[in-house]
């Protein structure tokens, strides 16, 4: 879980646009972020296994 101050800092508009970075909307994690879903890989995996993301199924063969 990310610190609250870092989450709030990332929501502000930076002085330069290249300083902007993405964070997970659910947990605030900075790494392994999927832009299409706007969440990190850990939250994505949890939601996908519960079936809460439409169009995503767990692979099995």
Residue showing tokens 């930076």: 14
pLDDT surpasses 70 at 1: no
Q: Which residue has the higher pLDDT, 14 or 60?
A: 14
60: in domain: no
The whole-angstrom separation of Cα 58 and Cα 11 is 32
- Which residue in 11, 14, 57, 44 sits closest to 22, CA to CA? 11
Segment holding 60, helix H or strand E: none
Instruction: Say whether pLDDT at 10 is over 90.
Output: no
Average pLDDT score over residue span 9-30 = 88
24: annotated binding-site residue?
yes
The CATH number of the domain where 9 resides is what?
Answer: 4.10.830.10
Tell me whether residue 57 is in a domain.
no
Tokens 């199924």 -> residue: 57
Q: List the domain range (segments joined by +) for residue 36.
A: 2-48
Question: What domain count does the chain have?
Answer: 1
Is 5 assigned to a binding site?
A: no
Confidence (pTM):
0.77
pLDDT digits (tens, 9 = 90+) for 25-57: 888 899 999 999 999 999 999 999 898 999 888
């Amino acid at each position: 879980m990310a610190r609250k101050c870092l989450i709030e800092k990332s929501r502000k508009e930076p002085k330069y646009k290249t300083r902007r970075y993405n964070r997970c909307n659910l947990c605030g994690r900075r790494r392994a972020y999927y832009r299409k879903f706007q969440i990190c890989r850990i939250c994505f995996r949890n939601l996908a296994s519960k079936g809460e993301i439409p169009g995503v199924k767990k692979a099995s063969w």
